[in-house]
C-alpha cells in the first residue's frame, strides 16, 4: 500500500506555530546537486527539520558546500545530514571523502584511539562540506550469522567492545560540531531479514536483546538515536520498533532515559511502506515517540503525503498536539546546537591515513605473496541503499601488480561449470586467488569457490566480508579494506 492510499484529500489548516512544529518532525531526501526544488523550498520555509543527502546529491566537494549553503540560505536552522558510516557506504566518494574501513575492521583492531581518528576524519570532512549531522555509528551487534544487513557495519559481536568503540566514535564526532546518531534501536543484529525488503523479527527474550551498546551511546551523550523497523515479540508483538509506543516511549524514554532526538529509519523501506504506507508510518511513528521521521526517496510527493497525514492527524486529534510539540522542541534544540556549519576554511585538518592504517592492521593472517596471480572476486552487487561504490579486489591488486589478471563476478552465472572451466584455463600456470564476500548468504559464491578449490587446492582464499574460512580476511569491502588485502597478496 502506498502513501497515496493512506493520505487524506487535503491537509488540515493549523495555527502557524503548530504547522511549523509538524514540519520540524520531517527529514526529506530530494533530487539535485545545484538547484533546490521548489517543493523542498516550500517545506523548508514552513519549518522542515532537515534534509538527508545521498550520492545523487554529490558531484564534488565545492558543489556540496554550495548546495548546503543554498539550503541554509532558505532557513538557517535547517539540519543537513547524511549516512556516513565509512566502509562501503560511500555517498561522498566523489567529494574526496576520507577512506576508512567499515566498523567491523576497527573492532578487530580494537584500538579506540584509531577508531576516534577515523571518526574524526569523517566528521571533519562533513564539517568542511557544511554537513552537520551524521547518521552513524551502527550500534547493532553482529552475532547472527545469517543477518543480511548489519554484518561489517557493526563493530562486532561483543557488547563491551562495541560499546567502547561507540563511545570513541561519538566523542570524536561531537568534537567536530557534528551530530552523531547511534542506530538501529533496539538492535537489528539479531534478525535474518533486511528491513529494506521486509519486516524483520528478532525472536529473542528481553534479557537477550542487544541494549548494552545503546545504553553506552546514551551515556556518551549521543544526541540522536535511530529506530529499527524490527518487530521484537518480547517487547511488542504487534508493531516494529519504529511504530511501537512500548519500545520508543516505554523502553527508550522511560527505562533508558534518552532525551535526545529519536529519528526513524527511512519510511519508504518495505518493512513500513508495504504494510502501513509511508504516510501512516509517519503518523504512527510520531505517536509512538519518534521526534523526526526520515523520508529518503527523492520524490517529494511522498514527503508531502507524510506531512499531510500528520497535519490531518493533529487536526483531528488522532495525534496529540502535546506529542508533536514535544518532538518539535527536541528537533529545535538539536538544530540550535548543530545546524550552523563551520565557516569555510575554518575546519582543522584530519588524519587522512587513519583509515588505511586501520584496514592494514585488521588483515591479521598474512599469505605468501602471489604476484602475477589470477584474481577471482565474487561479491554481491552493491546494496542500493548502502554501498554505492562496487569496488573490486582485482582493481586494487592490479594497481600494485599490473601483471595480475582476473575475473569479477557479482551475480549467479548462467553457466557456472563453464565459468569455472574458463577461469581455470586463464589461471593455468599462475597463482590463483579466490575471494568471496559473505558466501554463506549467497550460495552461488560457494558453488563457484568450491568448484575452483576442488581443482586448484593451492588457491589462496580471501574473505572480504565476515570471516568465511579464508587464508586472508579484510572484514569489509571498503576501498581501503581491499587495498590492504591487495598489499598482502602482492607483498608490498
CB-side neighbour CA atoms (13 Å) of 408? 12
Do 331 and 367 belong to one domain? no
Please check the confidence at residue 46 and state whether its pLDDT lies above 90. yes
Which residue has 554484518 as its cell numbers? 151
Which range marks the domain in which residue 444 is found? 363-490
> Measured in whole angstroms, how far is the alpha carbon of residue 317 from the centre of its chain?
35
Do 325 and 400 belong to one domain? no
Do 160 and 230 belong to one domain? yes
Do 372 and 235 belong to one domain? no
Q: Is residue 354 part of a domain?
A: no
Q: Is residue 352 part of a domain?
A: no
Phi, psi of 80 (to 5 degrees): -110, 120
| Rounded mean pLDDT, 454-472 | 93
Q: How far apart are CA 410 and CA 378, in angstroms?
A: 6
Catalytic residue among 125, 196, 374, 442: 196
- Sequence length of the chain is 492
In the annotation, is 265 catalytic? yes
- Across the beta sheet with 374-378, the strand order is 405-409, 374-378, 432-436, 460-463, 472-473
Do 334 and 384 belong to one domain? no
Q: Is residue 357 part of a domain?
A: no
Do 203 and 254 belong to one domain? yes
Q: What band does 470 get if pLDDT is binned at 50, 70 and 90? A: confident
Do 333 and 414 belong to one domain? no
Q: What band does 390 get if pLDDT is binned at 50, 70 and 90? A: confident
Last-in-domain residue among 296, 324, 339: 339
Which residue has 511504530 as its cell numbers? 243
Q: Is residue 321 part of a domain?
A: yes
Do 117 and 165 belong to one domain? yes
Q: Is residue 358 part of a domain?
A: no
- Residues with Cβ within 8 Å of residue 113, at least 6 apart in sequence: 168
Q: Is residue 406 part of a domain?
A: yes
Do 222 and 305 belong to one domain? yes
Q: Is residue 350 part of a domain?
A: no
Do 405 and 331 belong to one domain? no
- How high does pLDDT run on average in the chain? 94
| Rounded mean pLDDT, 478-484 | 95
Nearest CA among 443, 448, 394, 446 for reference residue 420: 448
In the annotation, is 196 catalytic? yes
Secondary structure element (H or E) that encloses residue 263, with its range: strand 261-263
Catalytic residue among 202, 265, 377, 392: 265
Specify the CATH number for the domain of residue 242: 3.20.20.300
CB 90 within 8 A of CB 389: yes
Please check the confidence at residue 367 and state whether its pLDDT lies above 80. no
| Beta strand pairing call for 79-82 and 133-134 | parallel
Specify the CATH number for the domain of residue 433: 3.40.50.10090
| Rounded mean pLDDT, 272-283 | 97
pLDDT at 12: 61
Nearest CA among 207, 215, 202, 118 for reference residue 162: 215
Q: Is residue 6 part of a domain?
A: no
The cell numbers describing 160, all together, are 563491551
Our count of domains for the chain comes to 2
Do 291 and 375 belong to one domain? no
pLDDT at 9: 44
- Count of C-beta atoms within a 10 Å radius of residue 212: 17
Q: What is the pLDDT of residues 409-450, one digit of tens each?
A: 999 999 999 999 999 999 999 999 999 999 999 999 999 999
Do 452 and 370 belong to one domain? yes
Amino acid at each position: 500500500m502506498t502513501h497515496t492510499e493512506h493520505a487524506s484529500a487535503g491537509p488540515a489548516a493549523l495555527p502557524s506555530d503548530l504547522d511549523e512544529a509538524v514540519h520540524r518532525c520531517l527529514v526529506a531526501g530530494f533530487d539535485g546537486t545545484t538547484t533546490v526544488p521548489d517543493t523542498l523550498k516550500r517545506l523548508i520555509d514552513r519549518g522542515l527539520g532537515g534534509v538527508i543527502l545521498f550520492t545523487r546529491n554529490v558531484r564534488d566537494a565545492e558543489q556540496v558546500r554550495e548546495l548546503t549553503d543554498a539550503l541554509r540560505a532558505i532557513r538557517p536552522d535547517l539540519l543537513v545530514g547524511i549516512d556516513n558510516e565509512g566502509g562501503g557506504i560511500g555517498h561522498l566518494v566523489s567529494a574526496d571523502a576520507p577512506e576508512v574501513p567499515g566498523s567491523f575492521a576497527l573492532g578487530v583492531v580494537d584500538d579506540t584511539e584509531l577508531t576516534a581518528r577515523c571518526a574524526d576524519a569523517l566528521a571533519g570532512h562533513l564539517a568542511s562540506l557544511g554537513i552537520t549531522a551524521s547518521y552513524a555509528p551502527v550500534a547493532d551487534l553482529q552475532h547472527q550469522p545469517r543477518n543480511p544487513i548489519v554484518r561489517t557495519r557493526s563493530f562486532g559481536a561483543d557488547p563491551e567492545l562495541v560499546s567502547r568503540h561507540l563511545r570513541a566514535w561519538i566523542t570524536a564526532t561531537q568534537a567536530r560540531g557534528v551530530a552523531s546518531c547511534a542506530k538501529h534501536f533496539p538492535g537489528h543484529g539479531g534478525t535474518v531479514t533486511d528491513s529494506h525488503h521486509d519486516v524483520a523479527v528478532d525472536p529473542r527474550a528481553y534479557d537477550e536483546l542487544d541494549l548494552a551498546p545503546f545504553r553506552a551511546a546514551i551515556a556518551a551523550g549521543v544526541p540522536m538515536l535511530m529506530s529499527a523497523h524490527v518487530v521484537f515479540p518480547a517487547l511488542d508483538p504487534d508493531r516494529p520498533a519504529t511504530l511501537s509506543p512500548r519500545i520508543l516511549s516505554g523502553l527508550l524514554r522511560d527505562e533508558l532515559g534518552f532525551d535526545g532526538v529519536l529519528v526513524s529509519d527511512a519510511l519508504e523501506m518495505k518493512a513500513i511502506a508495504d504494510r502501513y504506507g509511508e504516510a501512516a508510518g509517519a503518523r504512527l511513528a510520531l505517536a509512538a515517540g519518534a521526534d523526526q521521521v526520515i523520508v529518503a526517496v527523492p520524490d517529494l510527493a511522498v514527503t508531502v503525503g507524510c506531512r499531510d497525514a500528520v497535519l490531518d492527524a493533529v487536526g483531528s486529534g488522532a495525534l496529540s498536539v502535546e506529542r508533536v510539540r514535544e518532538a518539535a522542541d527536541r528537533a529545535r534544540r538539536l538544530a540550535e546546537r548543530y545546524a550552523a556549519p563551520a565557516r569555510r576554511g575554518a575546519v582543522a585538518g584530519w588524519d587522512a591515513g587513519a583509515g588505511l592504517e586501520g584496514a592494514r592492521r585488521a588483515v591479521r593472517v598474512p599469505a605468501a605473496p602471489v604476484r602475477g596471480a589470477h584474481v577471482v572476486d565474487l561479491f554481491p552487487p552493491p546494496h542500493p541503499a548502502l554501498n554505492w561504490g562496487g569496488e573490486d579486489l582485482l582493481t586494487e591488486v592490479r594497481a600494485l601488480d599490473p601483471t595480475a589478471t582476473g575475473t569479477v563476478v557479482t551475480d549467479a552465472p548462467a553457466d557456472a561449470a563453464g565459468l569455472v572451466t574458463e577461469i581455470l584455463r586463464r589461471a593455468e600456470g599462475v597463482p590463483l586467488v579466490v575471494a568471496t564476500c559473505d558466501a554463506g548468504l549467497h550460495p552461488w559464491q560457494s558453488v563457484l569457490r568450491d568448484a575452483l578449490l576442488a581443482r586448484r587446492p593451492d588457491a589462496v582464499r580471501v574473505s572480504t566480508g565476515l570471516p568465511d574460512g579464508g587464508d586472508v580476511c579484510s572484514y569489509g569491502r571498503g576501498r581501503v579494506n581491499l587495498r590492504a588485502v591487495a598489499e598482502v597478496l602482492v607483498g608490498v
